A and B are shown apart, each in its own frame.
Chain A
Amino acid sequence: MISHVNRFKVLILTLVLAIWTAPAFAEGATVDTGDTAWVLTSAALVLMMTPALAFFYGGLVRRKNFLSVLMQCFMVACIVTIQWVVIGYTLSFGPDIKGMIGGLGWLGLKGVGAEPNADYAATIPHSVFMIYQCMFAVITPALILGAFAERMKFSAFCAFMLLWSTLVYDPICHWVWGVGGFIRNMGALDFAGGTVVHINAGIAALVCAVVLGKRHGFPAKMSPPHNLPFAVLGAGLLWFGWFGFNGGSALGANGLAGNAFVVTHIAAAAAGLAWALLDWKFNAHPTVLGMITGVVAGLVAITPAAGFVAPMDAIWIGLGAAAICYFFVAVVKVKFGYDDALDVFGVHGVGGIWGAMATGLWAQKAINPAGNDGLFYGNPGMVLIQAKAVLVTVAYSFVLSFVLLKVVDILMGLRVTEDQERIGLDLTQHREAAYTTLD
């Protein structure tokens, strides 16, 4: 028997629930549950790419610096997430100011709730779009850390990441993806972040490698990767997460998402295969590290193109990514001698530029009516537009990253001492060790 008091409680609870859920029913007309479910899932997939990157990078450093890489990846996730919800999102996607930056209308997520924002995604809650974009804002600066791995002071790292997110990522994100952004208005195509994420991070990485200088002992006395299986695990999880990165960028569970998913997978496979074959030819052995590097290069290159190109063209994009990135990693880096420790520029910067240009070659309206035709589909002008978008991104990222590094260097110093570098960042920056010798 339910007592009177309990009956009263049940009644109140039912009323409260009814009031709470009422707006959800009211929205039913615009929010699509399938789209929302896919974008939420994709957001989780993209988030996973940051810890995946931690293992991809972490496996490649020496054992004394393994934790520092994991720590930096997780710390970026924490810092940038808070930055994003407070100010980053409104700077990137907020009401446009002269094509240059988002206004402060959505400061602190003001008005960013369950109601969709038709400018960006008409069928999912605005908050879902915001958190999906948050994951991109997180992984982009995290990509950079591979360039200065094993030598940057942790405090300087935190400061640089916060500044870079706010003053480099957010503006470029607005230019390319924000309504009113000037690169978007030029007609440039970037489906999931070739310019915003990969070129941007890759160029910043090159600047970091040069400004911070080489690690002691580079290149003659460097130890090999301390745990390649971890790098393989990380690359595998990156591949998996990339389906959310590119497939989710359709912002709906639809044919476009399907196309993005398919071409992403094809380009990754083509590039992994091609890199292994290049290794076989030029180094006499197909290497594991070469193959996973190829896979990542292919994923990078297909990112801007995923929503605009056909499956068979994705093979060419993947093959091109492997060939060009291989050349930069194996030849150009050696020739110029910069210590881009984990080849962020060689894979993400160069692969991103190739991908952006390839979008100008192989894009077609038949795949995405909202896109455009590329050179091979009768529109040579597309290549020029893509080149302009690439140049603007490269120039801005290069100059601002340089300035920000110099500012942080003056304020707190960028590098650890030589002693600390020899002992390793795990022990000197975090007072922890990744592995014990006994037990």
Chain B
Amino acid sequence: MKYIIAVIQPDRVDDVLDRLEEKQVHLVTVSTVMGRGRQKGISEIYRSHKEQGSLLRKVKLEVAVNEEFVQPAIEAIIKGGRTGNIGDGKIFVLDLADCVRIRTGERSQVAIG
């Protein structure tokens, strides 16, 4: 089991979710986050005073999957999220120790889908 965390551009969310859906990956947690990479933030102007934003708005996707879905999920996220510009984001893949479905108490591979 792997836990996939992807930080992507906010305007790519719908595309990424569609691509994941095509690969039968239905369960996703999405949150709005702030972050920065190499490109820094966009400066804003308030009454002529420029403020260099150091953080940008991003979206974080979290997906827990069984081994056979790891590669398809990564491909789906890249396919939906890639524009080729700086700031497209990153995908992190972590080992997942366990998973529990709260309603039934099921564990591990069964619970994850």
Contact = CB atoms under 8 A, between A and B. Distances in A.
B49 A287 contact: no
Contacts of A326: 48
Nearest to B50: A283
A28 interface: no
Q: Per DSSP, are chain A's interface residues mostly helix, strand or loop, or mixed? A: helix
B47 A329 contact: yes
Interface in A280-304: 282-283, 285, 287, 289-290, 293
A258 B33 CA distance: 52
A254 to B, nearest CB: 38
Contacts of B44: 224
A219 B48 CA distance: 13
Interface string A163-184: 0000000000000000000000
A287 B45 contact: yes
Interface in A185-234: 219, 222, 224-225
Interface string A257-286: 000000000000000000000010011010
Interface string B25-67: 0000000000000000000111111110000000000000000
Contact of B46 (A225, A282, A334): A225
Contacts of A293: 47
Nearest to A283: B45
Contacts of B45: 279, 283, 285, 287
B51 A224 contact: yes
B46 to A, nearest CB: 6
A293 B49 CA distance: 14
Contacts of A222: 51
B92 to A, nearest CB: 25
B47 A343 contact: yes
Nearest to B48: A330
B54 to A, nearest CB: 10
Interface of B: 44-51
Interface of A: 219, 222, 224-225, 279, 282-283, 285, 287, 289-290, 293, 326, 329-330, 334, 343
28 contacts: A219-B49, A222-B51, A224-B44, A224-B46, A224-B51, A225-B46, A279-B45, A279-B48, A282-B48, A283-B45, A283-B48, A283-B50, A285-B45, A287-B45, A287-B46, A287-B47, A289-B46, A289-B47, A290-B47, A290-B48, A293-B47, A326-B48, A329-B47, A329-B48, A330-B47, A330-B48, A334-B49, A343-B47
Given A279-B45, A289-B46, 4 more contacts: A224-B44, A225-B46, A287-B47, A334-B49
